[in-house]
Structure 1
């Protein structure tokens, strides 16, 4: 492994971490403020990916497809919130998990009925299909650089929103002490609706951006929901700052584990054993990270109620 390969994998890890942040930020806000465990958040990610892929394929405009996916996913989220989630606010977490898991099953079947059971390949924007020469020996895909830029821009925008606007003040107040916020006159219902819509928009954006670098398929929301949950546990439930730091850590650890562990094990173990052990260890790397963090800080790195 040379320095160029290591640097490339670090960039890949940062990109993956930033896309995880888009998904985890909305999820941690919904859980931290609304105290609602919405497992259907991953289905919104899947909806954004499918809608963006199909609109881009038919219209040829990637930016337009992303915007359509965000708006459509917000409307879908509003429908889910009105039909299901609103009735779960006063219920315990077990009821929320069971109900939103049912939404996952319904969403998967709806996608199968509308677009079929086979995965689809989302087209990469024509202007971003080529590489960018970052270093003399490192041509890096232009589209992945765009993912890095968009992820950082959204992270900055969320930081400004949460920390430097009145709405952000209400969001932080609700995350810290919901009862006191209600006592002080905060219209919690409106804050809930805003947070739910914001979370849906971020999930749709992540799905639309990740589509061109992976297969858009049924169940993709559940697959990425698990790393997103790991992120919010590591970062601290309700903390956007914690979600950002934890997403970068998880992205780097997961990518580095998959890229570096197998070749390192092949150098010291028999090939057959290394072939089995490498992917297994890489797959549990982020869970080892979560266990280590929770051992030192049981409430996460930056708990919102600290």
Structure 2
């Protein structure tokens, strides 16, 4: 079976070439080990005209405002990560991180990690995680403002990108921000699903994150990191629960450390746009999680696919 996804972009003039990024990802993915971690692109089509043409025909006011360019990408149907639980969820989640990391090092920046972009399929009796939806990622050699242009799905965005300065593009989007998004996805799935099924309304936490604006969601995430015991599911597997708490502890600890650094910079009147960031070592950012005993324990228990 195939799935068809229609893509749009805004504003059309500044992003004319962006739809080709997905194809570039697939070009990179022809080299191992990425080939298995990206969706197999079967067919794609770019519509020749923007949506402003459809808006002009009936005489709509300001037809070019918010105009889009439309694309169709056809790939093999994949399964959502939300169907998984326990060690199976961790294994596929981990594989998606590996795919994302390899592409980031190749200069392809996803910047919109969410559950809908994390899929999987069966191959030779093993689950293969797929990091999906790269067709509107940014590239390291992009010209213009796209490197800081804010993209993302609010409930899963890194906390540092949710305040007004983050939303306006004044905070440089770094690898650790996408890695934090992966952690928020893991938290989201663990707290809101049981045995691959979404909990009923009223029994699942974090619903309001999907409706809050970015600033308010950031404030609520700070509360979550301070009082995780208010959200902890009593029926979660012990090994998954240990890892979940370890992830929360890492986000809280490193968030507090960056906050202290920003205060020190402010006291020296030295803080300017994006210079509150320490130099980033991508591998070190991931190692913060992979060196945790709870990560190693889930690797051992899950009999991982790679």
Q: Same fold (TM over 0.5)?
A: no
Scaled by the length of structure 2, the TM-score of the pair is 0.28
Which structure has more RCO (C-alpha within 8 Å, separation ≥ 6)?
Answer: 1
Structure (1 or 2) with the greater strand fraction:
2
Structure with the largest fraction of helix: 1
